[in-house]
Chains A and B, each alone.
Chain A
Amino acid sequence: MFEEYSMAELTDILFMQGFAGLILFSVLVLMALGLAIIFGQMGVINMAHGEFMILGAYTTYLTSHIFETYLPALFDGYFFVAMALAFLVCFALGVLVEWGMIRFLFKRPLDTLLATWGLSLILQQLYRTVFGAREVGVTLPEWMMGSYAMTETIEVPINGIFVMVLTLFIASGVYFLMFRSLWGKQVRAVVQNRPMAGAVGIDTGKVDRYTFGIGCGIAGIAGSAFTMIGSTGPTSGQLYIVDTFLVVVFGGAQSLIGTIASAFTISQSQSTLEFFLSGSMAKVITLLIVVGILMLRPQGLFALKIRQ
């Protein structure tokens, strides 16, 4: 299929395609990080993850409106404020949900699945009642749109770079939080042995609450970032949920590195397949490969060894 193109064109396309894969990779990591924390560290299946993302998106939408109306001069920078707000709003709701619901359901992971599914239905209808059934358009500052032309054919989307930088930032933030901070040590202690962690004076309830809150907060940031590339409507969150879970499970539930590795594998295979096949078939084949590997290696790519 390539004979009609020159070498230069092919190199460009290869580059662009690699870049497309990287964007998809960043998107998947961003989606999955929050879930990886919640699912991996707490064993809670949060089916409302997508709705938390959309909450972040709606927060961004509202912030953009406020800035447009009251602070038009600062509009260029509103997105950062919006992301911070998205984090806070989702964090707060996450803490509330953990306090009111999740903490009663520990050790019953399948039940958290059903309860959070119920939560997701309620949130969807809430968005529909508050914001209307139609999708909302989030206006972005001019500098975030468009692309940066490196050569004649290679054009790098600015929002793609933005998502990549953001992912890098959040991922390293999570890394430091989990592996370099006292809090992270506590979380890991609770994951590995809850009674012992409690015995040495860690407030396990509080750790859980903030873990869940932070997971949701990261979902909020992801949602906020996705207003650049996707739609914001009451049911948009459901578009993400299967992919997100697969990334986390494929990576090995308790390993953050695994999540990143699996996001990389899935994104690269999907974007390569998409280039050679039709979109639908690419998706089916990617999912089949993931499911196939999971059947052979149920613990995922990277499994954390703990006594079960």
Chain B
Amino acid sequence: MRQRSNIRFMSRQEVLGYVLLAVILLAIIPLSLDVFRLNLIGKYLTYAFVALGLVLCWGYGGILSLGQGVFFGLGGYCMAMFLKLEASDPESTKIQSTPGIPDFMDWNQITELPWWWEPFRQLPFALSAIVLLPTLFAFIIGVAMFKLRVGGVYFAIITQAIAAIMTILIIGQQGYTGGVNGITDLRTLLGWDIRSDSAKVILYYVCSAALFICLLLSQFIRYKKLGRILVAMRDREDRVRFSGYDVANFKIFVFCLSAMFSAIGGAMFTLQVGFMSPSFVGIVPSIEMVIYCAVGGRLSLLGAVYGTLLVNWAKTIFSETFPELWLFAMGALFIAVVMAFPNGLASLFKRYIEPKLPAWYSGKTAGLGASIMRTDSSKETVGKEALEEKNRVVSKPISKPETVGTMAPSSDEKLEGGVYVD
């Protein structure tokens, strides 16, 4: 039986936050930008899917994956395969030696469509592949790793290696994957020209809507007991395990979910940008996507979206004016986020802006769950901030303790040498 908790699905602040984001994404941005810039924002939003997945699996689950690009790429490639097959009808490819197959296959002397490309002619298949294939892949990785209790740094490095393997494979098998060029020149979706301005606007809205669905889904998970188990697990994995939970299953679940989000992002990317290439699969983009999440605040779902938008917008502006300075700024951003404000923009907002807002904004009924969520373990925060946040939680009346609630939200009792005092 699922325990009915007294935590509300969203606090008042969160409702306001979502409304604000919706206004910005659905009204302000489309009204104030031309189609070119709107399309750019749409592209950035596809990265926000990955950042969102990382908030769940890194911020809440404590699993840092440096291979999210693999899932982004898989999703993108599934979409691109469908679009490419549609673009390669025998009529428009009649100059090839084998008409009717994608151009890059023809250049690589492939005379027949490989069997595993064939099902991608069907949109329903392609759409389900976008969601299922990366999730399945994440499941396999997850089962192998988490059941054996591989975690933390090891997991990060292994996912990085997987990203490297994928890149080499995709580039090496160019007859089947388009190689380093990727799958390019995608034109239509079921006859609808995705390159036209009106299509760009519509795709932008589709992308925003999909992002909102993912956001709400994440919010839902956070609100359910699952979310709290995740946090507890991140902070004190042993105790959760001793309480009778199978930690690995939760990790696998959240990793799969983040993979699925990334894949949806990848598919939206392909639709809006019009091609997919292995340059998203590798290590560098995967790590860059982590920084989007970190800038926004690794514990804040909305922060991930803002962080992604901000970093990418800064990147575009910087590289238009001072291309050579961009890497300095990016590097400094990495260091600053980690050292000065580990919880990103979200924590800055909480500390400096929120207290100044009128009382109706914060309300009186902010639930316990939300505050536990917002507090993070002292493992992840530093110095003063951690103390402050901790005090804030302690001073809140804990109304109805439950399994997860009784777990100390912090792990300070753990001595540094690896010896528990309790």
Chains A and B directly touch (beta carbon < 8 Å): yes
For A110, A119, A125, A238, the residue with the greatest tally of chain B CB atoms inside 10 Å of its CB is A110
Interface string of A100-125 (1 = CB under 8 A from B): 01001101111111110111111111
- Cα distance, A287 to B158, chains bound together (Å): 10
- Cα distance, A150 to B64, chains bound together (Å): 51
Cβ-defined partner of B337 (8 Å) among A114, A128, A291, A296? A114
- Cα distance, A192 to B419, chains bound together (Å): 11
Q: B397 — which chain A residues lie within 8 A by C-beta?
A: none
Residue contact A118 to B415, C-beta cutoff 8 Å: no
Q: B144 — which chain A residues lie within 8 A by C-beta?
A: 295
CB closest residue in chain B, given A279: B172
Residue contact A283 to B338, C-beta cutoff 8 Å: no
Q: A115 — which chain B residues lie within 8 A by C-beta?
A: 334-335, 338-339
Cβ-defined partner of A125 (8 Å) among B152, B331, B342, B382? B331
Known: A122-B332, A291-B158. A110 touches B153 (CB 8 A): yes
CB of A194 within 8 Å of the partner chain: yes
B229 to chain A, nearest CB (A): 20
CB of A245 within 8 Å of the partner chain: yes
CB of A151 within 8 Å of the partner chain: no
Residue contact A114 to B290, C-beta cutoff 8 Å: yes
- Cα distance, A196 to B418, chains bound together (Å): 11
Give residues 153-193 of A contacting B (CB, 8 Å): 192-193
CB of B242 within 8 Å of the partner chain: no
Give residues 114-129 of B contacting A (CB, 8 Å): none
CB of B273 within 8 Å of the partner chain: no
Give residues 381-420 of B contacting A (CB, 8 Å): 382, 415-419
Residue contact A109 to B416, C-beta cutoff 8 Å: no
- Cα distance, A281 to B171, chains bound together (Å): 11
Give residues 5-42 of A contacting B (CB, 8 Å): 39
Q: A134 — which chain B residues lie within 8 A by C-beta?
A: none
- Cα distance, A287 to B169, chains bound together (Å): 11
Q: A105 — which chain B residues lie within 8 A by C-beta?
A: 338-339
CB of B19 within 8 Å of the partner chain: no
CB of A141 within 8 Å of the partner chain: no
Q: B165 — which chain A residues lie within 8 A by C-beta?
A: 284, 287-288, 291
Residue contact A121 to B334, C-beta cutoff 8 Å: yes
Contacting chain A: which of B95-103, B322-330, B356-364?
A: B322-330
- Cα distance, A122 to B324, chains bound together (Å): 11
Q: B380 — which chain A residues lie within 8 A by C-beta?
A: 108, 111
- Cα distance, A192 to B417, chains bound together (Å): 7
CB of B294 within 8 Å of the partner chain: yes
Residue contact A118 to B161, C-beta cutoff 8 Å: no
Residue contact B158 to A122, C-beta cutoff 8 Å: no
Q: B149 — which chain A residues lie within 8 A by C-beta?
A: 298
CB closest residue in chain A, given B340: A104
- Cα distance, A45 to B283, chains bound together (Å): 15
Residue contact B161 to A287, C-beta cutoff 8 Å: yes
CB of A225 within 8 Å of the partner chain: no
Q: Say whether chain A's binding surface is mostly helix, strand, loop, or mixed.
A: helix
B335 to chain A, nearest CB (A): 4
B377 to chain A, nearest CB (A): 11
- Cα distance, A113 to B294, chains bound together (Å): 12
Q: A296 — which chain B residues lie within 8 A by C-beta?
A: 148
Residue contact A249 to B338, C-beta cutoff 8 Å: no
Residue contact A246 to B161, C-beta cutoff 8 Å: yes
A300 to chain B, nearest CB (A): 8
Residue contact A114 to B154, C-beta cutoff 8 Å: no
B60 to chain A, nearest CB (A): 14
Known: A105-B339, A114-B294. A245 touches B331 (CB 8 A): no
Residue contact B172 to A118, C-beta cutoff 8 Å: no
Known: A104-B382, A118-B332, A298-B150. A280 touches B168 (CB 8 A): yes
CB of B287 within 8 Å of the partner chain: yes
Residue contact A196 to B417, C-beta cutoff 8 Å: yes
Residue contact A291 to B415, C-beta cutoff 8 Å: no
Known: A114-B290, A245-B160, A249-B157. A107 touches B416 (CB 8 A): yes
Residue contact B148 to A246, C-beta cutoff 8 Å: no
CB of A308 within 8 Å of the partner chain: yes
Q: B10 — which chain A residues lie within 8 A by C-beta?
A: none
B141 to chain A, nearest CB (A): 8
CB of A93 within 8 Å of the partner chain: no
CB closest residue in chain B, given A242: B164
- Cα distance, A290 to B156, chains bound together (Å): 15
Residue contact B157 to A245, C-beta cutoff 8 Å: yes
Residue contact A287 to B164, C-beta cutoff 8 Å: yes
Residue contact A111 to B168, C-beta cutoff 8 Å: no
A192 to chain B, nearest CB (A): 7
Q: Assuming A113-B153, A119-B331, what are 9 further A-B pairs, CB within 8 angstroms? A: A45-B157, A47-B287, A105-B338, A114-B294, A118-B332, A122-B332, A242-B283, A280-B172, A307-B419
Listed by A's residue number, 26 A-B pairs whose Cβ atoms lie within 8 Å are A47-B287, A104-B382, A109-B153, A110-B156, A113-B66, A113-B153, A115-B338, A117-B334, A118-B333, A121-B330, A122-B327, A123-B331, A125-B325, A129-B324, A193-B419, A195-B417, A196-B417, A242-B160, A242-B161, A246-B161, A249-B157, A284-B172, A291-B158, A295-B158, A298-B149, A306-B418
Name the 5 nearest CB pairs between A and B, nearest first: A118-B334, A122-B331, A121-B331, A125-B327, A193-B417
Tell me the B residues contacting A by CB distance below 8 Å.
58, 64, 66, 144-145, 148-150, 152-154, 156-158, 160-162, 164-165, 168-169, 171-172, 283-284, 287, 290-291, 294, 324-325, 327-328, 330-335, 337-339, 342, 379-380, 382, 415-419
